[in-house]
Amino acid sequence: MSKPIELYANALRGLGRVTARELKHLFGGDLQSRQAGHTRNVDIIQFKYDGPHESLLQIGTTEDVFALICELDLSGDREKDLLAIAELSRQKSLTRVVEYAKLFRGRPSKRIRFRAVVQASDADWRLYRRNEMQASLVEAINMAYPKWKPVDDEADFEFWLQQTDRAATIGVRLSDATMRHRTYKMEHMPGSLRPTVARAMAFLGRPQDNDVIVDPVCGLGTTLIERALAGRCKMLLGGDGDYDVSESAMVNFGRKHRPRLICHWDAERLPIADESVHVVLANLPWGHRIAADIGPHYAGVLREAERILKSQGRAVFLTDQSRALVACLSYSEQLFELERITDVSVLGREADIFVVQKI
């Protein structure tokens, strides 16, 4: 067996521990993973892997996957730190990582193009700026591969440096834009749920082949489509109070992910039989989007979830109004909170994911 490759994944801030669990689910309980740090909006999860490279693109809760070149401690001293970045070309892992990254690419350009990406926030202890780090990274790659051409976009390879506190994680991006954006999103609207957050919700619902899944506020259908991508199920049911939005969800579904049914309905009066559903997934309306008191709406959605769920069924809710949801749960006789994933970064705001179970 070949030596496992050192990899890391970027998950939206707050989702790192869900991604670590998904990695173990996909690649086995013996997979070594650890949350290595975070930038302002991203959790970084490191892991070792020696399986088929194509399987890495099945990870659903991550924005990107990288092959690790090295980690550098940063002192803040300009000359010392920029020299350490520029000497990246001396890292023994660089050649192996680049060869591994080639497995994820089609035929490269006649002259290979590369891009250097640096994610770092200005800090008082660091006596240099992000653009200087980027210039040092470009210098390092040019020293290792003199014939390669640095570009701003449309690159064959992307080398990323991400500052995590007083350290830097440097790697080659293996995934492309479809890992974070998906290809099914034909219809869009402001505030549409990010697919990786929806996949985290689907994963926390413990997917089973016989699941009947309901999203009472399905919007463009992202949570239901991500549940379908996470594994087989018996039925997908969704609806929205806005007829045009539910029609847009059908466009995103296309001809895939059957059986499913998307309706125009009232989330507080669902046309679904009692105790007939295994999982409810819902990105609940956020407080800044609704002028009226959100509590009564949340209470109505929870009452319906309690009614339609089977015993031991789960509901997974995303909300930025945790107090309102907790208050509604306190009045429920059959729903109780199992888990809460807090401070998830969603479109520049923080939200919580609640995992709820029916007794």
Question: According to the model, what pLDDT value does residue 255 have?
Answer: 86
Q: Give the chain's length.
A: 359
Q: Domain count of the chain?
A: 2
* 142: Cα within 13 Å, side-chain hemisphere: 12
Question: According to the model, what pLDDT value does residue 295 have?
Answer: 92
Give the DSSP H/E element, type plus range, for residue 139: helix 130-144
Domain stop point among 163, 179, 195: 179
Is the domain of 124 the same as that of 251? no
For residue 45, list its beta bridge partners.
9, 35
Is the domain of 190 the same as that of 306? yes
Q: What is the pTM of this model?
A: 0.94
**159-178: pLDDT as tens digits:** 999 998 899 999 999 999 99
What lies within 8 Å, CB to CB, of 138 at 6+ separation is: 116, 150
pLDDT-derived band at 291, boundaries 50, 70, 90: low
Whether pLDDT at 194 is above 70:
yes
Whether pLDDT at 211 is above 50:
yes
Structural domain that includes position 330: 182-358
Whether pLDDT at 21 is above 70:
yes
- The chain-wide mean pLDDT, for the chain, equals 93
Is the domain of 229 the same as that of 337? yes
pLDDT-derived band at 289, boundaries 50, 70, 90: low
**292-307: pLDDT as tens digits:** 689 999 999 999 999 9
**218-233: pLDDT as tens digits:** 999 999 999 999 999 9
Phi, then psi, of 205 in degrees rounded to 5: -80, 5
Structure tokens at 1: 């067996």
Domain stop point among 156, 179, 202: 179
Q: How far lies 5's CA from each of 8, 106, 246, in Å?
A: 10, 21, 43
Domain stop point among 127, 149, 179: 179
Phi, then psi, of 319 in degrees rounded to 5: -155, 150
Q: How far lies 317's CA from each of 70, 171, 198, 202, 320, in Å?
A: 38, 34, 10, 10, 10
> Among candidates 219, 226, 221, 217, which has minimal Cα distance to 62?
226
Question: According to the model, what pLDDT value does residue 1 have?
Answer: 40
Query: For residues 93 and 6, is the Cβ–Cβ distance under 8 A?
Result: yes
